[in-house]
Structure 1
Amino acid sequence: MKYMLLVYGAESCWTPESREDCMRKSMAICEELEREGKLVASSPLMSVTTSKTVRVREGKQLITTGPFAETTEQLGGYYVLDVETEQEALEIAARIPPASVGCVEVRPLEPLPQ
């Protein structure tokens, strides 16, 4: 079963040193999951200040700068896993360093009909 792990946290909680440490630890987890055949994709996201939000209303495209919602925690990255059980996805989510300062949402991916 495939699961998406969405990593949320306040961008302001990271110092350059703690962000570097987080990235190193996260990459080690990715390398391990890749060796085990469980990692489909993973990537950190650039700062929320680089985001754009697209809406289409009455056939007109509306583009705004910034995230959709004003929140203290922003989506900072993601993992897509292919694991046997939800419990395994939850255990991996708990190992991701940002879980200790933010949260990791775990959601099963809906298979597309073929």
Structure 2
Amino acid sequence: MKYLVMVLGSQADYEAMSGNPSEGSPAWGEKDMREMFAFMESVNNDLAESGEMVEGHGLGEPAGTRAVLPGPDGRPVVTDGPYGETKEQLAGYWVLDCESLERVTEIAARIGLCPQPEGAPVYPVLIRPIMDDAGC
């Protein structure tokens, strides 16, 4: 079965990774970034080797978000992010093909151990089943 595994972050987290800390998001140093990238590369390599990786990507900062909604006259209403009412946003994802929910949960638990600076916010790793043509 295929699953979407998602990691979250905030605009403040992206800024902290660029060396601009804020309350609750300490600055990431070069060593912190190297450790995080090495960890994610290891996860990705293991998932590719096991055949479970379908695809995965990190996403740009929330400030680059654009929302498109239908306006009352049917023309699109476009707004740019970040959005203050949404604290955490999608920061990256994997599409995985795993034999069970238990297996994808093991993978999510590993992803949750990604190194980061002390005091950085901890977000859950989210798992959602991907619906197929049969509805599951």
- The bucket for the TM-score relative to the shorter chain is 0.7 to 0.9
Q: In structure 1, what is the equivalent of residue 22 of structure 2? A: none
Structure possessing the higher radius of gyration over alpha carbons: 2
> Match of 2:130?
109
> By percentage of residues, which structure has more helix?
1
The total of aligned residue pairs comes to 112
Q: CA RMSD in A?
A: 2.1
Q: Match of 2:42, as an amino acid?
A: A
| Gap runs ≥5 in structure 1 | none
**SS in structure 1 opposite 2:125?**
strand
Partner of 1:15: 28
Runs of 4+ in structure 1 deviating by more than 4 angstroms, as ranges, are none
Cα distance in 1 between the residues matched to 2:98 and 2:71: 39
Greater RCO, CA 8 A, separation 6+: 1
Distance 2:65 2:9 in 1: 16
- CA deviation profile, 1:56-76 (whole Å, cap 9, x unmatched): 134211110015662332210
Choose which of 23, 33, 37 in structure 1 pairs with 2:47. Answer: 33
Please give the secondary structure, in 2, of the residue aligned with 1:103: coil
Contact 1:8 1:102 in 2 (8 A): yes
Identity %: 33
CA distance in 2: counterparts of 1:69 and 1:6, whole angstroms:
20
TM-score, normalising length: structure 2: 0.73
1:69 to 1:106, Cα distance in 2 relative to 1, 3 A: farther
User: What residue is the counterpart of 2:99 in the other structure?
Assistant: 84
Displacement of 1:16 = 4.2
Separation of aligned partners in 2, 1:101 and 1:6: 13
CA distance in 1, matches of 2:85, 2:33: 23
Aligned to 1:33, the other structure's residue is in SS state: helix
